[in-house]
Amino acid sequence: MQMLFAPAREKWPWLHEEKRLVAEIKKTAKTGNEAATKILARQLVRLRQQITNLQGSRAQIRGVTTHTQALYASTSISSGMKGATTAMVAMNKIEMMSEAIDETLDKDEAEEETEDLTNQVLDEIGVGVASQLSSAPKGRIATKAAAPTTVNNKNDSGSTEVDDLERRLASLRRI
């Protein structure tokens, strides 16, 4: 930052020099010394050109400083955005893991509910049927046409109850 103020400090001696040259030109012109007046006039023109160049350089330095500050601000914003992006990615991963855990827990709860409902139905029928179902073979149940049975009124009402229970159990397993 010290370089920014250096051209401003350098300008004041140049302005003093310009005033001194103007005064000296007037003094030599009054004495009638044309050669000295011309030399001093050339010095004054060069001095004014140097002041103009100095002002142009100062403006360029200000432009470069402003550009540098803008780049620094842009870099700071970029770093902040990078940090925010990293945080968002981490939060997204955590959220996805949380959803997966919730889904797994929901499945476990659904299975527990299914088991509870099945046990409730079996309890309504009686404990004997529950023990028979646990020892029963798993898989498809043979249809009535495949397994001929003797039909009497007593077995027919029991068969309807079993069919009803099988339908209820099947619907519970679909849940």
Helix then strand count (H, E) for the chain reads 4, 0
CA of residue 165 relative to chain centroid, distance: 55
Percent pLDDT > 90 in the chain is: 27
Q: Is the pLDDT of residue 154 over 70?
A: no
Confidence of residue 28 (pLDDT cuts 50, 70, 90): very high
Q: What are 2-24's pLDDT values in tens digits?
A: 444 455 566 677 788 889 999 99
Domain ranges for the chain, please list them. Answer: 2-174
Percent pLDDT > 70 in the chain is: 73
Global pTM reads: 0.42
Region 108-128 average pLDDT: 72
User: How far is it, in rounded angstroms, from Cα 17 to Cα 23?
Assistant: 10
CB 116 within 8 A of CB 172: no
Confidence of residue 69 (pLDDT cuts 50, 70, 90): very high
pLDDT computed for residue 4 by the predictor = 45
Q: Is the pLDDT of residue 126 over 90?
A: no
Q: What are 31-59's pLDDT values in tens digits?
A: 999 999 999 999 999 999 988 998 899 89
